[in-house]
Amino acid sequence: MKKLSLAVAVTGVLGLGVMAGAHAANNGKLIFNGTLTNISCAVAPGTGVSPGNPGEINVDMGNVSFSDIGLSGASRFETATPIQMLVNCSAGADQYSTVKMRFAARNGSGLDNNDAKLLRTTGAADGVGIGLLNASNKLMDLSGTETIDTDLVLNGTGGATAEINFGAVYVLNGTTTNPGNADGFMPFVLDYE
């Protein structure tokens, strides 16, 4: 937000210099909408992941040979790393039944340039992206709006728990391969319905 404010301030100063001899005004309106809830939930790592810095979950993809992975249509997901996220809601969950995990690949390391279903990797490795497998072991399209939906288990006192299970796997993107580190990052959001 600070970058936006600075950019607006700089644009405003430049605009004053250009409009020194003219008087002009533009009018507009900002409309904000939102909802506040009483739900209070925390997310913790489960099987296959470990805690990192606050708000970060580390997934160790391991050392994988290019010969053990395939293209997105090849369904070669034997090397997938299982991931489990544990959701614990302490209050306000009694009006919700589902938690939906959505991903923002574009706000992370980005979508792969050669296969937009995949997360772009950073590091020296070439020819590969990172794919996510939903609970049905199907490759998700990270360029779309797919979510991983899990039932909330209510505890009768306004709290609830859920286990979100999915996987991460390296997938060939159809370009020349080159070994090395193949890292990536991607924000996620949990929506309660």
Task: Dump pLDDT digits (tens) for 67-106.
Answer: 999 888 887 888 899 999 999 999 889 899 999 999 999 9
pLDDT at residue 9, rounded to an integer: 36
Rounded CA separation 129/122 (Å): 9
3-state secondary structure of 188: strand
Residue 138's alpha-carbon distances to 46, 116, 133, 134, 157, in angstroms, are: 21, 16, 5, 6, 35
Indicate if the pLDDT at residue 20 is higher than 80. Answer: no
Q: Residue 5: phi, psi to the nearest 5?
A: -60, -40
pLDDT at residue 164, rounded to an integer: 94
The Cα diameter of the chain in Å comes to 69
What's the burial of 64, exposed, middle or buried (CB within 10 Å: 0-12/13-18/19+)?
middle
Which CATH class for the 38-192 domain?
mainly beta
Task: Kindly state the tokens that stand for 145.
Answer: 């709006």
pLDDT at residue 165, rounded to an integer: 94
Indicate if the pLDDT at residue 36 is higher than 90. Answer: no
What's the burial of 93, exposed, middle or buried (CB within 10 Å: 0-12/13-18/19+)?
buried
HSE of 64 in the Cβ direction (CA atoms, 13 Å)? Answer: 26
Task: Work out the pLDDT band at 169, boundaries 50, 70, 90.
Answer: very high
